[in-house]
Amino acid sequence: MAEASLLDRLCPGDHACFVVDEEPARIRDVAAWIRSGLRDHHRVVYHALDGDRAASGLADEGVDVAAATRQGRLRIVTPDPADLETIVRRWRDESARARDDGYHGLRAIRDMSWAGGDPPGTDRLAWYEAQLSRVFADGFAVGVCLYDRSLFGEEQLHQITRSHPATIAGGTEAGGIPLLRVTRTAGSFGLRLVGEADLSNRRALRAILDHVDDDAAPGQDRRTLTVDVGGLRFADSAAVRMLLTVAGPHRLRLVGCSAALRRLLAHHGPDPAVEYGG
């Protein structure tokens, strides 16, 4: 049950790649995660390749599928062949509906086995996953993308995992989940970074930073972007360069900046658009 305990460490705002190796473990761990979501008054949306089989498997693991479905707390749907941009928009809509319906959060889980074997569009999977990280950065929804290792090449999986802030796979240590959590701050134009920003999640962080203006709440003053890095345990040089780049059209205010991060920022040259606070 190691993976199930790792899934339970995820919180609203997280977007994790769950690389699975065997079917029994997959349904067991997904069922445990769904049970805890229903307990926490989250709406759960499960995109499964075979809805009937998924419902039966969850029921066998103790999920009251019939009651949760009847009450609207659980939806098991079969993915349709929509383009990836449309799927991203649909997840945004799902999150908004769950919020409007009074849920404490949205738990979104999608079996990505449909993409095994390189059907049309899979060359954009890394792009899709990185863009999906923007949906979860609002701090309300949490997403898990299931990838069956046997259906994807190792290099393809590397590109996909780097497009998620966090990855759970065989051998993942509990302390590494989530490796990076990026959430937009409520009420102000800003972000909060917790964990480690490195090669393993670079595409996800870049997507969030590149679209920080697009994802801002209407009417926010965007002249200064405040980034709380007090919980950032580690950032590599590439992550620091991305932070400096996002400072381009804004002033960048870093809150809780450690001495080590300040040294790394200084190594890349003083920037008059960066200020420190808190």
Tell me the CATH number at 258.
Answer: 3.30.750.24
In this prediction, residue 102 carries a pLDDT of 97
Give percent of the chain with pLDDT exceeding 90: 63
Residues 164, 142: contact at Cβ < 8 Å? no
Residues 170 and 241 in one domain: no
DSSP H helical ranges for the chain: 2-7, 23-39, 51-60, 65-70, 84-100, 125-136, 154-161, 202-210, 237-246, 259-267
Residues 194 and 155 in one domain: no
Residues 194 and 163 in one domain: no
Q: Record the pTM.
A: 0.90
In this prediction, residue 171 carries a pLDDT of 75
Residues 170, 21: contact at Cβ < 8 Å? yes
Q: Answer with the one of 176, 211, 234 that is the final residue of a domain.
A: 176
Residues 65 and 197 in one domain: no
With H, G, I as helix, E, B as strand and everything else as coil, classify residue 89. helix
Say if strands 180-184 and 190-197 run parallel, antiparallel, or are unpaired: antiparallel
pLDDT tens across 106-118, in order? 999 999 988 887 7
pLDDT tens across 215-232, in order? 998 888 988 999 999 999
| Nearby residues of 113 by Cβ (< 8 Å), 6 or more positions away | 49, 146, 147, 148, 151
In this prediction, residue 272 carries a pLDDT of 59
Token reading at 137: 């950065």
CATH number at residue 26: 3.40.50.300
Helix, strand, coil in percent for the chain, rounding step 5: 45, 25, 30
CA–CA separation, 249 and 246 (whole Å): 7
Residue 41 neighbours by CB distance under 10 Å: 11
User: Position of tokens 């300040």?
Assistant: 262
In this prediction, residue 271 carries a pLDDT of 62
In this prediction, residue 1 carries a pLDDT of 44
Residues 166 and 189 in one domain: no
- Name the DSSP class of 200: G
Residues 163 and 101 in one domain: yes
Residues 168 and 212 in one domain: no
Residues 200, 162: contact at Cβ < 8 Å? yes
Residues 163 and 263 in one domain: no
pLDDT lower than 50: segments of the chain = 1-2
Domain range spanning residue 141? Answer: 2-176
With H, G, I as helix, E, B as strand and everything else as coil, classify residue 169. coil
Residues 118 and 11 in one domain: yes
CA–CA separation, 20 and 113 (whole Å): 11
What is the number of domains present in the chain? 2
Residues 17 and 92 in one domain: yes
Mean pLDDT, the chain, whole residue set: 89
- Cβ-based burial of 49 (10 A; exposed 0-12, middle 13-18, buried ≥19): middle
